[in-house]
Structure 1
Amino acid sequence: MLAKGQTVIGMMETLAPKHYAVPEDRIGLQIGTLQKDIQKVLVALDVTDEVVDEALAVGANLIIAHHAVIFRALKSIQTDTPAGRLYEKLIKNDIAVYISHTNLDVAEGGINDMMADALGLTGLSPLEELHTDKLKKLVVFVPVSHHEAVRRAVFQAGAGSIGAYQECSFNIEGTGTFLPGEGTNPYIGQPGKREEAQEIRFETIVPESVERRVIQAMLKAHPYEEVAYDLYSMDLKGRTFGLGRVGKLQEPVTLAQLAEKVKQAFDVPALRLVGDPHKQIKKVAVLGGSGARYTRHALFAGADVLVTGDIDYHTAQDALAAGLCLLDPGHNVEKIMKAKVADYLAGELREKKYGTLAVASEVNTEVFHFV
């Protein structure tokens, strides 16, 4: 059985919820429809002619990309222009395009975490805080026989965390009553007969970002035809999400040594270095894409170096004067997302027994070459 487009995107938005995106960011479905079966998903950094040709060659009818194929509002689609020809090719071949941009940057496990992990950084925190996850309390009444199954399912879906503590809950046993109506198929009792059952009131904390996943997991594990549960908003704040990451290296290295590690980790032949190559580096800030305006954030966080793309001359001058080193491996290092997002989607599709496949684009969309 193939997954519908909306099902695949539901998996993608579990990884990178749309509300994480910065305002006015061009994300979501940009071309085509999700109301169709998806044979194969192609995960790409950019949507170019070569990438669309690759999608056709591998049989993909959905492209999930990081960079928008439609970045500015369209007044017309003229098929004698490069952009117009690209849109025409996508539409004629029924290839949908879905964009996950700054929401994938911000997300836990997203591009900035991928970059930080590739450099071996620990003790991560956002470079710029954008969102604080709201917390809710889930209360559900479960028959004793299924209490552990429901609790386990809810925890595995992401509920139950308070700070550094996991699987937090409160459980108390009591008596539930109900009268199954005509046409019902109750797990306990018979239609038309009032019933009492020993149940457990199970309470736990649910971050808003995983609310839908937790509720679905709870309902799937619960045996009742109609599940009695409540979801309350709380004043307590959960985890903070944002752009970029700041973390520490396991062992200090020189700036020159870190530069070599960056080249290897992000598969780039060269990079631009600002600062003393012999300076000892302990704390590192990373930000995928264009991060020139985040030098002050890196300084405020106490970073010795900022690893990001698209650094301009005057920003580099100011950073150097302030004592912040810079490593610019280019914007294209965000290609790290292709294989990792494809692996994530492939795993989710496989776990749910869909025949839809997910693969990473092999097209190199880097526009700069070193000569």
Structure 2
Amino acid sequence: MYANGQTVIQLMEQLAPKHYAVENDRIGLQLGTLQKEITKVLVALDVTDEVVDEAIREGAELIIAHHAIIFRPLAKIDTSTPAGKLYEKLIKNDIAVYIAHTNLDVTEGGINDWMADLLGIPQEKRASLEDIHTDKLSKLVVFVPQGHHEKVLEAIWNAGGGHIGNYSCCSFNIEGTGTFLPGEGTNPFIGKSGKLEKVAEMRIEIIVPQNVQRRVVTAMLKAHPYEEVAYDLYPMDLKGRSFGLGRVGKLAEPIRLGDLADKVKEVFEVPAARLVGDPERMVRKVAVLGGSGARYVRHSLFAGADVLVTGDIDYHTAHDALVAGLAIIDPGHNIEKIMKPRVADWLNEQLAERKYATTAVASTISTEVFQFV
């Protein structure tokens, strides 16, 4: 069985929830429809004419890309223009385009974390350069008959409920007595229609982050034995985890700036990188940010970073960073290509787990526009 397009995107949004995106970012479905069967997904950094041709060859009905193909509201679609021709080719071949941009940067286990992983910044020692989103929390309260308590609790935990800071599987459980009178036409799990029942129950209280609330409630209802489940969701003033753009943290050991630049070229598979700073300087605290990072020089300095690894640094920003004592390694914007195999692998794992025949493949087309001559 193949997955519906909407199902594929629901999985994608578990990795990169839409509400993690910065304000006014162009994310989500940009062209086509998700109301169709998807046999193959092509994961790309950019949607170019060559990438669309690749999708056609692969038989992909959906492209999930990092960079948007529509940046501002369209007044018209002129199919004699390059953009218009691209949209026309996508529509004629019934290929939908979905964009995951800053939400894929911000999310835990997204582009910025993948960059940090490749450079050897330990996960437990990294933080965001700028917080973008703080999870809202709710408290889920549900009443479960004794004997089914553990099954429901584990379903809630497995769906993402019960996290407080670095602690997981957090809950509070109270024994009590539940009463109910099954009405006409009911099929109660315990008792008989028309007879008042008193049942030994457990009250479960558990904290649920906003981004997994629907998944947690669905899992709880599926695991619960009752025909009609008594539960409540209370909004909380307590704030949850924060997620942000960029990462910063200390390497296990100091390294020469020149050697770090060589490592950047190796792990991101680029032929060259621009370097700001003395190659002999020893650095240890490293900031990373996918895409254009000129706006994050100040954030990197505030975080105490020795060096910022990012793309698209302009001349004057580089001068300002050098004077302020921040080294910069600029391997280009295209290093975000690391998202292609990782997103494809993640989707394949999720699809296979749910027994779908739909597959995801990483685009093999290079969309780097710069050449080194």
- Per the normalisation by structure 2, the TM-score is 0.97
CA shift, 1:209, in A, is 1.7
Structure 1 equivalent of residue 257 of structure 2: 255
- Report what 1:322 is aligned to: 324
The match for 2:66 is 66
Q: SS of 1:321's equivalent?
A: helix
For the residues of structure 2 that align with 1:183 and 1:8, how far apart are their CA atoms? Answer: 38
Distance 1:182 1:279 in 2: 80
SS at 2:351 equivalent: helix
Shift of 1:12: 1.1
What is the deviation of 1:360? Answer: 1.1
Which residue type is aligned with residue 372 of structure 2?
A: F
Moved more, 331-340 or 208-217: 208-217
What is residue 78 of structure 2 aligned with on the other side?
A: 78
Q: Which of the numbers 359, 366, 369 marks the counterpart of 1:367? A: 369
- Which residue matches 1:197? 199
> What residue in structure 2 maps to residue 232 of structure 1?
234
Structure 1 residue 34: deviation in Å?
Answer: 0.8
Distance in 2 (CA, whole Å) between partners of 1:78 and 1:163 is 51
**Structure 1 Cα separation of the partners of residues 353 and 99 of structure 2:** 24
Q: Distance in 1 between matches of 2:314 and 2:219?
A: 48
Amino acid in structure 1 at the alignment position of 2:26: R
SS of structure 2 residue aligned to 1:145: coil
Residue 301 of structure 1 and its aligned partner are, at CA, apart by 0.4
Q: 3-state DSSP class of the match of 1:116?
A: helix
Per-residue CA deviation, residues 181-217 of structure 1 (Å, 9 max, x unaligned), is 2333322223333222221111111111221121122
Q: What is the CA–CA distance in structure 2 between the aligned matches of 1:92 and 1:159, rounded to whole Å?
A: 43
Q: Counterpart in 2 of 1:217?
A: 219
Distance change >3 Å, CA 235–CA 269, structure 1 → 2? same
1:131 is paired with a residue of what secondary structure?
A: strand
Aligned AA (1:164): N
Alignment match, 1:121:
121
Other-structure match for 2:13: 13
Q: Report the 3-state secondary structure (helix = DSSP H, G, I; strand = E; otherwise coil) of the residue aligned with 1:203.
A: strand
Normalised by the size of structure 1, how large is the TM-score? 0.97
How far did 1:228 drift? 1.2
Runs (4 or more) in structure 1 with deviation over 4 Å come to none
Q: Name the counterpart of 2:105.
A: 105
- 1:354 Cα deviation from its structure 2 partner: 1.3
Provide the residue aligned with 2:137 in structure 1. 135
1:70-99 C-alpha deviation (Å, 9 max, x unpaired): 112211111111111110010011100011
Whole-angstrom CA distance in 2 between matches of 1:215 and 1:258 = 46
The Cα RMSD (Å) is: 1.1
Corresponding residue of 1:93: 93
Match of 1:288 among 283, 287, 290: 290
Summarize the alignment of residues 29-68 of structure 1 with structure 2, pairs less than 5 Å apart.
29-68=29-68
| More displaced 10-residue stretch of structure 1: 182-191 or 264-273 | 182-191
Name 2:271's counterpart in structure 1.
269
For the residues of structure 2 that align with 1:15 and 1:186, how far apart are their CA atoms? 38
**SS state of the match for residue 46, structure 1?**
coil
2:302 partner letter: F
Distance 2:117 2:225 in 1: 40
3-state SS, counterpart of residue 332 of structure 1: helix
| Residues 276-297 of structure 1, C-alpha deviations (whole Å, 9 max, x = no match) | 1111111110000011111000
Please report how far the alpha carbon of residue 344 of structure 1 lies from its aligned counterpart in structure 2 after TM superposition: 1.0
- State the partner residue of 2:208: 206
Distance 1:226 1:356 in 2: 35
Deviations 1:139-167 (A, max 9, x none): 11112222111111211222212122221
Determine the structure 2 residue equivalent to 1:2. 2
Q: C-alpha separation between the residues in 2 aligned to 1:269 and 1:220? A: 52
> For 2:128, what is the secondary structure of its paired residue?
strand
Partner AA of 1:347 in structure 2: E
Q: CA deviation at 1:303?
A: 0.3
Partners of 1:112 and 1:141 lie apart in 2 by 40
Partner residue in 2 for 1:348: 350
User: What is the aligned residue count?
Assistant: 371
Structure 1 residue 269: deviation in Å?
A: 1.4
Tell me the percent identity.
73
Give the Cα separation in 2 of the matches to 1:352 and 1:184: 32
Gaps of 5+ in 2: none
Q: Is 1:174 the equivalent of 2:160?
A: no
